[in-house]
Amino acid sequence: MVGEELVGMTPEMIEASQAGMKALGAGLAVGLTGIGTGLAEMAIGSAAVGATAENKDVFGLVLLLTVIPETIVIFGLVVGLLLLF
Partner 1 sequence: MLTPEQMSKVLIAGPKDALDSVIAELDSQRLFHIEDFVENDQEEYTGYKIGNPLAGAGDISKELLRLRSVTGAFSLQGEDLDPKARIRRSELAAQIEKELPRIEDEVESLLAKRSALENHQKEIEQKIEVLTPFADLRTDLSLLHGYRTLTIFAGTIAKKIDLGVPSEVYHSESKKGNFLVAAVPVEYRQEVERKLLDAQFQAVPIPDEPGPAKERISVYNVQREADRKDLEEISNQINALKSQHSEFLAACDELLSIEAEKAEVPLRFATTDHAFVAEGWVPTESLEGLVNGITKASGGKAYVTQLPVEEGKDLPPMEYHNVNFVKPSQFLIDVYSRPKYTELDPTLIVSIVFPIFFGLILGDVGYGALLLAMSLGLRMVIKGDDGRMLLDVLRNASIASIIFGFLFSEFLGFPIPGLHPVLPTRHLNIGGEAGGHGPAVPELMIMAIWIGIAYITLGRILGMINHARQDHGSHRVKAVLANLGWIMVMWGILLMIWSFFAMPLMPDLTGYPALVAGLSIPAIAGVVLILVGILLIARDSALEIVELPTILSHVLSFARLVGVGLSSVAIAMVVNFIAIGLIIEPQLEHLTIIGVILIIVGVFVFLLGHLFNAILGLLGGGLQSLRLNYVEFFTKFYKGGGRKYDPFGLKRRFTED
> Could you list the residues that contact partner 1 (CB under 8 A)?
59-61, 63-64, 67-68, 70-71, 74-75, 77-78, 81-82, 84-85
| Residue whose CB is less far from partner 1, 9 or 31 | 31
CB of 73 to partner 1, least distance (A): 9
Question: How many angstroms from the chain centroid is the CA of residue 59?
Answer: 27
Neighbours of 33 (CB within 10 A): 22
| Residue whose CB is less far from partner 1, 46 or 71 | 71
Cα–Cα distance measured from residue 58 to residue 60, given in angstroms and rounded to the nearest whole number: 6
